[in-house]
Amino acid sequence: MNCEIDIASFVARFNGTYNNILNVMGKSSYRNDMVAVHLIKSYCLPSMLYGCEIWSINRADIRTLDIAWNNAFRKIFNAFWRESVKPLLYYCACLPISYVLPMRKIIFWRKMYYSSNTALNALAKAGRESLFAVADAYNISGSDVLHVDNCTIKSLIWEHFVHTVNW
């Protein structure tokens, strides 16, 4: 049984919401770019990532989500399609989707691990090794992922991203 999801509807919803926001804000010469980024983060990103903590998606789908997110930044800041948006993401304190997905997954599974609900707790403990594998990809050890708070997890993933930004 294949448990992968079709992300096309999530990307379409993101693009629709995103285009509506930019149309309301007007031409790029008149809009405040940082307000546009805030609105995209607040209204569009949640619609694209709804339920992502339990998704099973492949690398191609993650790349598709990253492209939609990157293109939003390119459009807001009038960047060329071949330019890397990592400096823009850094400047706006945003992570690429390929970092947001595992971060949200780690935090979600940590909440289940420490839940007082027996069923959720048992499920999280059964999937502990997969949680460790996700965290390990971002240089977060298994003991760290279970014993530090969510802000520390976010900081560690942010630091991992910062080291990939090419200036």
Percent of the chain with pLDDT over 70: 96
Helices 8-25/59-76 angle, 10° precision: 0
Q: Are 131 and 106 in contact (CB under 8 A)?
A: yes
In angstroms, how far is CA 146 from the centroid of its own chain? 20
Q: What is the pLDDT of residue 3?
A: 65
Looking at residue 141, what DSSP letter applies? Answer: -
User: What pTM value is reported for the model?
Assistant: 0.89
Cα–Cα distance measured from residue 49 to residue 46, given in angstroms and rounded to the nearest whole number: 5
Q: What is the pLDDT of residue 129?
A: 87
pLDDT band at 157 (very low <50, low <70, confident <90, very high): very high
For 167, half-sphere exposure in the C-beta direction (CA atoms, 13 angstrom radius) is 4
pLDDT band at 142 (very low <50, low <70, confident <90, very high): confident
Percent of the chain with pLDDT over 90: 65
What average pLDDT does the segment 93-102 reach? 96
Q: Are 63 and 96 in contact (CB under 8 A)?
A: no
Alpha helices (H) along the chain: 8-25, 33-39, 45-48, 59-76, 86-91, 97-113, 118-126, 128-136, 142-147, 150-162
Residue bearing tokens 């971002």: 138
pLDDT digits 0-9 by tens, 59-91: 999 999 999 999 999 999 998 888 899 999 999
